[in-house]
Structure 1
Amino acid sequence: MKNQVGKLISSLDNNFKNGMIISNNIYKFIQKIFLFSLFFGFNAHAQQQLQRIGFVDIEYVLSKIPSYAEAQSKLDSETTTWKKNLDKMYLELSTMKEEFLNEKPLLTEDLIKERELEIKTYENEITKVENTYFGTEGKLFELRKQLVTPYQDLVYNAVQTIAELRKYDMIFEKSSSIVMLYTNNNYDISELVLKYIQKSKKEIEEEEAAIKREIARKAREKRIEEQRKKREEDRLKREEERKKRND
């Protein structure tokens, strides 16, 4: 199968290089769709069809949770304030540079160095403030983790539980990097996820208990099957040894 895929991709490369002039991004986009199609095509050919596939629109689910909207609004408000503060600082920096350029011909060498140092120091201060607000572990990161992430985790956990309960093989996120050119709404489980989130704690605990019982049942059946196979192997081995002795 790898050889077949390799030949097809090579053929695709040659066709585009010889017959079309396209941007690298468009080419990668087409190649992604092509590989995605090959994946499902070869799986179908090998009779490895997925039993259950679904997709969920996480943004839609989150938008239906009132408390999430409040959390997102608070996050947006804080972000706007921080951006305004930075805009003000950048404007002041721009004014400093403009004034310096206008006055530079009239300044002594010492004053020029002093003003340049002043501008550089303020640039460093802006960078520090920007990192404080929007750095990898800045205020935005911490506030998002505090206000928004718990709701996102709630949705992801609900999807995981539904997948286990209803035996889904794959569940895609509608706004993810996977290109979904067409979706059949029969496979949309967004409303199902929303209903699950809105259930009571008791209902959720009951469903999770059902999952644990199902996992335990499958493990028990697997052990029984392994024991049966072991007994059968032992029986065949004894029969073979008995035949050897008789011969």
Structure 2
Amino acid sequence: MKNRILYAFIAVLFIGVNAGAQTGAPKIGFTSTEYILSLLPAAKEIQKELSDYNDQLSAQMKAKEKTFQEKFAAYQQTANTMTELIKKDKERELQSLEASLRQFQQDAQTSFADKQQKLLEPLLEEIRVAIQKVAEENNFTHILNSSTGGLDVLLYAKEEYDVSNLVLAKLGVQPPSTNN
């Protein structure tokens, strides 16, 4: 019985080693999704839309800040002449405006992030599919993203394994003459 288990283990090990030998060493490529994204016309349209949306939110924020500043200045100028009841009412109003201002700022940040994700998600999926096709067509076992959020993740790689221009071509974009 022990011999059968030993033979089965050796057979499984041999099959695994043999399968690994047939596929060869891993072929690892890399790209920068940020670089690819920066060259896509659709990304430029998204950036414009996000910029316009940010401008709208900023204008609304400035209007709220101006209203608060005006009411605060008016309060400061007349605080000495107000009765205690009116003074407390104005202070509550200012506190409410300030809280509303902070809440709007948080909501605006969340709204902007949600809009950015909603707009970029389909484009990032398109890039992911193109990377997958390039990997399959060129027998890459792995494709790494060379940078994430502005941080270099890939510290060294030969340029010949940079598949960025292949991915751009797959997306129908003419790559620039020199790579990033």
Normalised-by-shorter TM-score class: 0.5 to 0.7
Identity %: 23
Q: Distance in 1 between matches of 2:101 and 2:60?
A: 10
> Does 2:159 correspond to 1:189?
no
Q: Distance in 1 between matches of 2:130 and 2:55?
A: 31
Q: 2:122 aligns to what?
A: 150
Equivalent of 1:113 in 63, 66, 88 = 88
Larger Rg computed on CA atoms: 1
Q: SS of the counterpart of 1:120?
A: helix
Question: RMSD of the TM alignment (CA)?
Answer: 2.7
> Does 2:60 correspond to 1:85?
yes
Q: SS of the counterpart of 2:45?
A: helix
Q: Distance in 1 between matches of 2:103 and 2:28?
A: 47
Q: 1:232 aligns to what?
A: none
Q: 1:122 aligns to what?
A: 97
Q: How does 1:141-220 map to 2 (within 5 A)?
A: 141-176=113-148, 177-198=151-172
Q: Quick check: 2:127–2:171 contact (8 Å CA) kept in 1?
A: yes
Q: What is the TM-score of this pair, normalised by structure 1?
A: 0.51
Unaligned runs of 5+ in 1: 1-48, 200-247
Q: How does 1:1-247 map to 2 (within 5 A)?
A: 51-135=26-110, 138=111, 140-176=112-148, 177-198=151-172
AA in 2 matched with 1:67? A
Q: Distance in 1 between matches of 2:95 and 2:37?
A: 44
Question: Cα 1:93–1:50, aligned 2, differ >3 Å: closer, same or farther?
Answer: farther
Question: Cα 1:57–1:112, aligned 2, differ >3 Å: closer, same or farther?
Answer: same
Q: What is the TM-score of this pair, normalised by structure 2?
A: 0.67
Could you tell me how far 1:192 is from its partner in structure 2?
0.8
AA in 2 matched with 1:109? E
Q: Distance in 1 between matches of 2:79 and 2:157?
A: 63
Unaligned runs of 5+ in 2: 1-23, 174-180
Q: Distance in 2 between matches of 1:195 and 1:102?
A: 65
Could you tell me how far 1:56 is from its partner in structure 2?
1.0
Q: Deviations over 1:69-118 (max 9, x none)?
A: 11221121111221122123123323333432343233221112111111
Q: Which has the higher contact order (CA 8 A, sep 6+)?
A: 2
Q: Deviations over 1:143-172 (max 9, x none)?
A: 324432211111122223333443434322
Q: Quick check: 1:72–1:147 contact (8 Å CA) kept in 2?
A: no
